[in-house]
Amino acid sequence: MAIERTLCIIKPDGVRNQNIGNIVAMIQAAGFRILGLKLTRISPAVAGEFYGVHKERPFYGELVNFMSSGAIVPIALEKENAIADWRALIGSTDPAEAAEGTIRKKYATSKGENAVHGSDSVENGINEVAFFFAESELINNA
Ligand code: ADP
């Protein structure tokens, strides 16, 4: 299996609910390498750019408002099969449908406020990591 990158974002609800530590613990227990991690906040314009693919969806405005409503923690992750393994660890978009033991089952509150983001393809993993981190910021030997 190939080494892949994926972008985790601990969303504003995850930060507000004091789950940064719990989520990072699950990331490390699952064997992901953390290449970069920061606490930051994004404007509605930047949130809109990040989620541009969803522009036509009915929930776009709500999503942009939510993602710019408080601090977030983008985390650049790497491991073999990172895209699929991270999607499996976070669980379904809607926490009501997420499997037991997944991050969203444990920490998400609704389909919109669902604690974490995960890239959905190898290409998006690379691009989304680059959205938040300069290559020179990433640590490859942690
Ligand atoms: P995922 O994050 O699981 O890849 P999507 O790419 O479909 O899910 O959607 C991106 C994000 O948009 C979701 O994580 C969630 O925060 C929000 N979202 C998706 N569907 C809805 C919805 N029906 N109502 C409100 N927010 C939604």
The length of the chain in residues reads 142
What pLDDT, on the 0 to 100 scale, is given for residue 141?
66
What pLDDT, on the 0 to 100 scale, is given for residue 140?
84
- Closest approach atom of ligand 1 to CA 112: 26
- pLDDT tens for 9-54 read 999 999 999 999 999 999 999 999 999 999 999 999 999 999 999 9
- pLDDT tens for 39-96 read 999 999 999 999 999 999 999 999 999 999 999 999 999 999 999 999 999 999 999 9
Cα of 137 to ligand 1 centre, how many Å?
Answer: 28
Phi, psi dihedrals of residue 11, rounded to the nearest 5°: -75, 170
pTM as predicted: 0.97
What pLDDT, on the 0 to 100 scale, is given for residue 135?
95
- Ligand 1 in contact with 123 (CB < 6 A)? no
Cα of 33 to ligand 1 centre, how many Å?
Answer: 25
Contact 35, 78 (CB under 8 A): yes
Q: Is residue 106 pLDDT above 90, yes or no?
A: yes
Residue nearest to atom 27 of ligand 1 (CA): 112
Task: Measure the CA–CA gap between 78 and 35, rounded to whole angstroms.
Answer: 7
Give the C-alpha distances (Å, rounded to integers) separating 30 from 37, 71, 81. 17, 25, 12
Q: How many C-alpha atoms does 67 have within 13 Å on its Cβ side?
A: 23
Q: How many CB atoms lie within 10 A of CB 106?
A: 16
Largest CA distance in the chain: 42
**What's the CATH code, domain 3-137?**
3.30.70.141
Domain ranges of the chain: 3-137
Contact 57, 48 (CB under 8 A): no
Give the model's confidence band at 98: pLDDT under 50 very low, under 70 low, under 90 confident, else very high.
very high
- Ligand 1 in contact with 116 (CB < 6 A)? no
